[in-house]
Structure 1
């Protein structure tokens, strides 16, 4: 007999939301309770809920993630309250602690290196490369002319097409070429704009080649394989750093003076530059901060993180995105990371909390938001490496994780208050918390 879960469902997307919900609930032993639970996460405002439902497909409920605030974030002399959406314990606390620490040492410094984004038309053509390159000046003009209705508004805002290059990849794949296009999209992330331009480029390329009567019949044809933006944006980069003298690092560790701490911290970061196992975890910590700001402002954190990991491997080895420089008694910690982020369009304009996040940040431009997000990345990275090189990561992390463990044991408010007091000077672990709660209940 086939299990219910093995049955292929036809027409699920066409069902009403209530019917989808009931169908899914039938996969549980207590469908009535499941329906009530999932409905309990619906927004009380029907219009707001309808908006959330339409963000994605086959929606049956909402999934809550905490929305926290990191205060005292000083960037280039300006102070921010930064919204962070993340479920992981200690990330907001770590960012807040780093922000407070560096606010007393000149704050975070940040600058935009560049903001260009990339898209490609991948196509096959069987002629001689030199012929195609000879046609490129004419082709460029034709391509740009063909997308003027699409680029007009972007150009009014100061963006548009920056350059178009023909890339010969026939040494790797037979007959394979690219039209590699760079764009400036100003305050929007620009995905839909870029993809619309590229798809039109593909059609224009086919027509252009078909009109070249000097070419053979075969070479007046090409096959468009695909036209799509790239989430790898090595020319859309932000650089962020903190710096101070050795003496300003005194007292970070009871066993190390400021200079000794700086050199130990430097070595820890160098390990992440030569060891891929450490680099992966090191960079994950950076994206704890960056992703949380991206989510809070309605940006695509998956695209941002994919670009960062590719950038970390740009020299052939995956390594740390951050680095340390020590010179003349000055400690400098630097993060350089690609980031295609926007403040207009998409969820940034639709999600009510994304709009509030941007308002809380002072309605920043995309360039400013790049700096803010990267600051939260380096803030988390600093706190993590500081903990690792001093008291260890678990002491602080598990203290922050205590409430999650207490909720697992369904602790009452009184039990939670007692546990917080008890574990002020005790190591926190799942087992130790369980034993303590059990002792309270005897």
Structure 2
């Protein structure tokens, strides 16, 4: 019978694994060996990884790959990507090479402001609250001056603050809606520190405000937290070329563009398709965000919220044909950093940023958006020509062979065989059985 454990966090890594092996993995004789073989032999590097999070047992590795030939605003990049999914890096690289011969990608940052909010409850007179906010707003800014001093030197800081009445959504609910500029840092800790100071000052001032009656002085701070929805921190990426340069798989450029635009229109109109369509975009985006030590969960949440900004989940990318030109673009919110957090701690993240020629946060926004667009182009191109499985399953072949515990010789023979045959799990299984018999 499994019982609760106390003090688990105080156990050593070895003791945690021993408890886990006895309690949950008793039938897995290899579990201990698997967990320990992924420890880094460099003890200082292993300790660094363990200090990223809590109750660490081992390290979970992802492939760290490279997609070369990205021409972005006339500058050539090789883009590091951390991802386990077959065909993603190959597809991004292929799209990059395709567009490098057609003028490359164009990208621009349309805004860099981020949002944080103090959520509070107030059941008194709304006009009194508005007057109170106007009066103490300078005190709120003064309260965070020690926190913002260094950020302001870099051109950032608190840009604006509004009192927002949300009582139509929830009785008594208001918020201080604050806008921040954090320059090359993602800024989560900076924003949250400022918000908590705002909340403390706001509540303290309310308790002594002469215009409030006793009940109105009881402002209740619910929480102070940044938002990962950043609709004013936007980057745009785009490609374009004459229709004549799009001829492919026996289709004229006009036919290819027509089918491509129609596929995008379906993703704009149909949420079931849009989710998978946008997942393909995120294959590229997440891989670069992860490789550079940024928070891919925050990026995912913000981008998918943005995809629903019109009240219905829709495609993030768009395409059109006009005056003989094909245009394909996306606009997405991206809150990224190139200083602070894991970007300064994880050795591979530091290497990734060096590969990208030490970009600013705005430059990284452009690179990430372009990678998403390239990934999307490759996916839609496959869908409207050969179908998604042909290329994907070719790349997935090695995973299937490893699942079937193929030897090096078997891999060599079957890789050659499936160059000219369709790949499926059953087909590979059948061929390996033939080979072994």
Q: TM-score, with normalisation over the residues of structure 1?
A: 0.97
1:33 and 2:30 matched: yes
Question: Which of 202, 208, 213 is residue 210 of structure 2 equivalent to?
Answer: 213
In structure 1, C-alpha distance between the alignment counterparts of 2:381 and 2:245, rounded to whole Å: 14
Where does residue 308 of structure 2 map in the other structure?
313
1:31, distance to aligned residue in structure 2 (A): 5.6
1:388-399 residue pairs with structure 2 within 5 A? 388-399=383-394
Where does residue 338 of structure 1 map in the other structure?
333
1:221, distance to aligned residue in structure 2 (A): 2.3
1:294 and 2:289 matched: yes
Where does residue 256 of structure 2 map in the other structure?
261
Asked if 2 retains the 8 angstrom alpha-carbon contact of 1:311 and 1:338, the reply is: yes
Q: Secondary structure at the match of 1:376?
A: helix
Where does residue 414 of structure 1 map in the other structure?
409
In structure 2, C-alpha distance between the alignment counterparts of 1:34 and 1:218, rounded to whole Å: 60
1:404 and 2:399 matched: yes
In structure 2, C-alpha distance between the alignment counterparts of 1:418 and 1:210, rounded to whole Å: 78
Question: Which of 365, 380, 383 is residue 375 of structure 2 equivalent to?
Answer: 380
Deviations 1:32-61 (Å, cap 9, x if unpaired)?
Answer: 532121111000100000000010110000
Where does residue 237 of structure 1 map in the other structure?
234
1:351-362 residue pairs with structure 2 within 5 A? 351-362=346-357
Question: Which of 114, 120, 123 is residue 123 of structure 1 equivalent to?
Answer: 120
1:117-266 residue pairs with structure 2 within 5 A? 117-250=114-247, 252-254=248-250, 256-266=251-261
Unaligned runs of 5+ in 1: none
1:410, distance to aligned residue in structure 2 (A): 0.8
Q: 1:159 to 1:55 in 2, by over 3 A?
A: same
In structure 2, C-alpha distance between the alignment counterparts of 1:258 and 1:379, rounded to whole Å: 19
Q: Secondary structure at the match of 1:178?
A: strand
Asked if 2 retains the 8 angstrom alpha-carbon contact of 1:110 and 1:241, the reply is: yes
1:83 and 2:85 matched: no
1:325, distance to aligned residue in structure 2 (A): 2.1
Where does residue 98 of structure 1 map in the other structure?
95
Deviations 1:171-202 (Å, cap 9, x if unpaired)?
Answer: 12111100000100000000000001001111
1:262-277 residue pairs with structure 2 within 5 A? 262-277=257-272
Q: Secondary structure at the match of 1:219?
A: coil
Alignment coverage as a number of residue pairs: 436
In structure 1, C-alpha distance between the alignment counterparts of 2:218 and 2:176, rounded to whole Å: 16
Q: Secondary structure at the match of 1:79?
A: strand
Q: Secondary structure at the match of 1:114?
A: coil
1:20 and 2:16 matched: yes
Asked if 1 retains the 8 angstrom alpha-carbon contact of 2:128 and 2:212, the reply is: no
1:426, distance to aligned residue in structure 2 (A): 0.5
Unaligned runs of 5+ in 2: none
1:30, distance to aligned residue in structure 2 (A): 4.9
